[in-house]
Amino acid sequence: MLLQNFSSLPFECGTDEAGRGCLAGPVTAAALILPEDFINELLNDSKQLSEKNRDSLRPIIEQNALCYSVTHIEPLIIDEINILNASIHAMQECIKKLNPIPNYIIVDGNRFKPVENIPHSCIIKGDSKYLSIAAASVLAKTYRDDYMNKIHEEFPMYNWKQNKGYPTKEHREAIRKYGTTKHHRMSFRLLPEQLELDFIEEIKQSLP
């Protein structure tokens, strides 16, 4: 059973992101405040839930949360500021939209930057420990999946409806065959051979 509160303060906010390791599509974050008496035995880290269970939990979370927010950060921004900063920025933007303003923030992971002087704690594997982070992970994952399903219609050859932009063999084969799109993260190594090319280039630059 997941824990309800970390700080013992009211209006504690949980936040998490989805899509950090993808080759295409946004990184998506969610933040929310749950009522103090919220309980749900099914709720867990979204990665451990089936798609069916995530989809069934989403309306329950949205109906019961005191407030929630979801933010997409597009590939152009990811390429400009890097994926870690983009993930943190997405979570920060979500938190700024919450009303009431949180008294405390709990973040999944080990890196974060303060939001408007609200105290926070980073919690490793927080999405499998605290209800609010787990709920945020479900919202982030389901909203991002919806986004990928939508852009799949424009570029069906990459099968984003299935792989959601993750670096599957099928996705990389499609990049090799069709090239990249506006939805791909150009700062990422989209193909395995890029690693070798980058290494060769580094060696060339280091030579006198």
E strand or H helix at 57, and its extent? helix 51-64
Determine the 3-state secondary structure of 146 from DSSP: helix
pTM of the model: 0.90
Q: How many domains does the chain have?
A: 1
What residues are paired with 17 via a beta bridge? 29
* CATH number of domain containing 96: 3.30.420.10
Q: Residue 145: which domain range?
A: 1-208
Q: Per residue in 98-128, pLDDT tens? A: 999 999 999 999 999 999 999 999 999 999 9
Q: How far apart are CA 175 and CA 33, in angstroms?
A: 40
Determine the 3-state secondary structure of 144 from DSSP: helix
Band the pLDDT of 189: cuts 50, 70, 90. confident
Q: How far apart are CA 159 and CA 24, in angstroms?
A: 11
Q: How far apart are CA 35 and CA 163, in angstroms?
A: 34
pLDDT of residue 199: 44
Q: How far apart are CA 141 and CA 46, in angstroms?
A: 7
